[in-house]
Structure 1
């Protein structure tokens, strides 16, 4: 998986690290049941003003239920959801300073672009001159001025997505909810639109919460990500921390590609500890994990791009193992090598394709060495 390194808010923007900062949205011990089924299980979560926050997880993990409770379409079975200082658990959707952009866009086909954007403002009985001013402002924001008189069927998918966004933003909500907003777009347009969303959110200084199952999308747009599974939040952190320091096997395996090695911790020193993991294979050196004890069972996560492939045995590597190339995944800028070790384990390594395919250094059935630094792996609970 190629994780995008998109523009993020300034490193100084980290209200979650400031104990004096009050969250805009707070879930406190929230549970949601549908009959005997528990969709959300005792979740507590804070989301701060000006965040672009992502709820990420597979289908059925509870992320859409979280968003529907924020929007007011569902009420919690237990716990409190607050926006600012107000408990909004039982406030109806139309009375919340929250708007939602749906995956289907839900545009009115018989209305022009400007009429679609103005619809909510008319419903709220804004004065005509203020409606016209706000619609013009939104058209400029999403760069659709010249399409103002067109109807949705005369627009591309990306343009319809921007109309839906403009309509959602027109009423100046405190919180904008985005439900898989880019799912209907092709890959290239989706990537372009991710950056447009980030720019708009940054310009407006508004809080966005996006629901997605796309790891790359969440990693690209979000200031923080909540990884969910089975109605629970597994980890909340910045994209960098989620990727580099997952707190569990589930998170490591869900985000990106990873090698997971199971074993037992041995030979602890001040510099680190070793993992004994397979008969006939050398122990793996792990630095900066001195808080773990000897004789514990543990899992080690190593990202494939941190593993180097060489034909000759590396002399100064902290860790090295030998195997045979079993498969190669070529994705243009990268190749992922699946290397079978003597015990049958498949280990993945990723290399940039700086040479043309015909001049690739390694091919199927080649015997190679894999090596990585002692700081490359992360011990998981």
Structure 2
């Protein structure tokens, strides 16, 4: 299936049956005593892919990364890297490197020595180490900071040093465990694009673990959404956002409005739903549904329109009272209270600087949307 939305690059080896996975988790389980951290999980990552493991705390994403790095051993299953079974291979002999959230820099060493540390441990010649370190400093734009100690750097600069040290040994795979968690919002956003550019330039396979949906959506070619030790959906950022396969995924990635009700009609791919607040929804559906079946309609706030005027057809529209208004600069967010006391969120782009008669608090307004604006989920 082609990616929904904009496509960052023409790179989708997962859709090519002739492509062999570069990293293969086959029926992996991991138990800590009675606790199941990862449960019978199969996952394939392809060479030069920027892959994200996304989920909340305790979902198993970091455990999966640590098993690939060799810091944990699977209870069951097999992990392959470039066709090689990693069972019994110690961490220091695996062609992977891991960058931690804490960066784990040596405080008494200069930037240069931090980057060179792993190369010295491998017995690389001094002249080669010097060339490699200089190349790494240029790559992460820290040419002028080689003699400084970590405490003399900003958080973003320390993050770049840790990144340079991680890729200096030229691993086949770079593992990133919440790599941007210590940065402030603006720097985190800037660094996301720098990581993407760097991954493209190096041609490496990146696997990142994060709980930040926006971070995963920005950087990754594909995202695996995890919950309770299992993968609940894998797809491109646009696929997971625009076509979630469950209420959990819909709610976890971005803001969502869920209208619950009962199917009253099914004509081919067109589904009619009567919701609990009396709205009649008509939408295309990729899920086979039958009249009488419980269903949910999930739609993002930016797909909704708000108006003081009732739509002519009355389909895909519901009235409510403006409960809260949030002005965010680029958009205004309306919280609208429906007759059944549920709150619907609508995001309206502020395309002009001023509005003569803006919608205000306590007004009765209509919320409406297009038939293809959301996705039908089975109840």
The answer to whether residue 278 in structure 2 is matched with residue 287 in structure 1 is no
Q: Distance in 2 between matches of 1:380 and 1:288?
A: 8
**1:348: which partner in 2?**
345
* Correspondence for 1:122 among 120, 123, 128: 120
Please, which moves more after superposition, 355-364 or 205-214? 355-364
Give the drift of 1:300: 1.2
In 2, Cα distance between the equivalents of 1:233 and 1:270?
30
Hey, what's the Cα distance between the residues in 2 that align with 1:324 and 1:148?
59
**Match for residue 209 of structure 1?**
207
Other structure's SS at 2:225 match:
strand
SS in 2 for 1:268: strand
CA distances 1:122-178 after superposition (whole Å, capped 9, x unpaired): 000011111111111111110111111111111111011000000000000000000
SS in 2 for 1:134: helix
Are the equivalent residues in 1 in contact too, given 2:285–2:375 (CA < 8 A)? no
> Deviations 1:69-96 (Å, cap 9, x if unpaired)?
0110000000001101111132110010
Distance 2:354 2:299 in 1: 26
- Measure the CA separation in 2 of the matches of 1:37 and 1:52: 30
Cα offset for 1:326?
1.0
Cα deviation 1:227-265 (Å, max 9, x = unaligned): 111111110100000000001110000000001111111
Quote how far apart the aligned CAs of 1:332 are. Answer: 2.1
Shift of 1:331: 2.2
Q: SS at the partner of 1:150? A: coil
Displacement after TM superposition at 1:8 (Å): 6.4
Give 1:290 deviation, angstroms: 6.9
Which residue number in structure 2 is paired with residue 331 of structure 1?
328
Residue equivalent to 1:380:
377
SS at match of 2:267: coil
Task: Decide which of 178, 181, 198 is 1:183's aligned counterpart.
Answer: 181
Moved more, 210-219 or 323-332: 323-332
Q: Deviations over 1:252-288 (max 9, x none)?
A: 0000000111111112224611011126x23211124
> What is the alpha-carbon distance in structure 2 between the residues aligned to residue 163 and residue 359 of structure 1?
52
Unpaired runs of at least 5, structure 2 = none
CA RMSD of aligned residues (A): 1.7
Structure 1 CA distance, aligned partners of 2:6 and 2:273?
A: 37
For 2:235 and 2:284, how far apart are their aligned partners in 1? 22
- How far, CA to CA, are the matches of 1:290 and 1:83 in structure 2? 36
Distance 1:119 1:7 in 2: 41
- TM-score, normalised with respect to structure 1: 0.94
Confirm or deny that 1:64 pairs with 2:62: yes
Offset of 1:353 from its aligned partner? 2.1
Matched position secondary structure for 1:177: strand
Q: 1:317, 1:373 within 8 Å by CA — same for their partners in 2? A: no
> Aligned residue for 1:309?
306
2:163 is equivalent to residue 161 of structure 1:
no
1:253 paired with 2:251, answer yes
TM-score (norm 2): 0.95
How far apart in 1 are the matches of 2:262 and 2:87?
47
